[in-house]
Amino acid sequence: MKAVCAILALCIAAAAAQNAAEPVPILRFNNELGEQLGQYNFEFESADGVVREEKGEQIPTSDTEGEFGAYKEGVITYKSPEGKTVTLRFVAGPNGYEPKLKISS
């Protein structure tokens, strides 16, 4: 039984190694923390055309002092396998997650 498990593990490892993709170079990367608690901004662009930008902060959730929730907004852009540009813009805040998807040629 141990031999069967060892052979199975070897086969899985060999299959995974064959499917391993080359790492995609990062062309641009920026990550900043703001002065306020929970405030941040980051962006990156990779050689395969993926671009991501996001910023966030803490916002009051009610009139009660000291109660805060997260507010985030951002955009992700990439090329689909069909060569179309996919752009996902999003806001996450008091109204929940609000994505807007655009696909163009």
Question: How is the chain split into domains, by residue range?
Answer: 24-104
Which residues are CB-contacts of 31 (< 8 A; sequence separation ≥ 6)? 40, 41, 42
Give 56-94 pLDDT, tens digit per residue.
Answer: 999 888 777 778 889 999 999 999 999 999 999 999 998
Mean pLDDT across the chain? 86
What is the distance, to the nearest Å, from the Cα of residue 71 to the centroid of all Cα atoms in its chain?
16
102 has pLDDT over 90: yes
40 CB neighbour count, 10 Å cutoff: 14
Using pLDDT thresholds of 50, 70 and 90, give the confidence band for residue 37. confident
Write down the pTM of the prediction: 0.71
- Do residues 36 and 42 lie in contact, with contact meaning Cβ atoms separated by under 8 Å? no
